Structure 1
Amino acid sequence: MAEILVWGDQNNPSVFDFFLDKNLFVLFLELLNMKGVPYVKMQLLQCLNIIFENIRNESSLYYFMSNNYINNVITHKYDFSNEEILAYYISFMKTLSFRLSPSTISFFYNEHQEDFPLYSEAIKFFNHKESMVRIAVRTIVLNIFKVERVRAQVCRALTTTSQPHIPCVYHYNTNYPAVNLTLNPKP
Structure 2
Amino acid sequence: MALFARCPKPDPTPAYELLPQELYPETWTPEGLSVPWRFGNRHLSVTLVYASADDTRYPSYAVACLGCPYKASRALSGDRILRQDEAVELANSHASTCNALGNPVPERPDDESARTLLLKRLVELQQVRGARPINPEVFLGDRLELQRDDTWIRDVLLHTAEASPELLRAEPSPYAEGGFLFHGQPILGADTPTGA
Normalised TM-score (structure 2): 0.28
Higher strand share: 2
Higher CA-based Rg? 2
> Comparing both chains, which one has the higher relative contact order based on Cα–Cα distances under 8 Å and sequence gaps of 6 or more?
2
Normalised TM-score (structure 1): 0.29
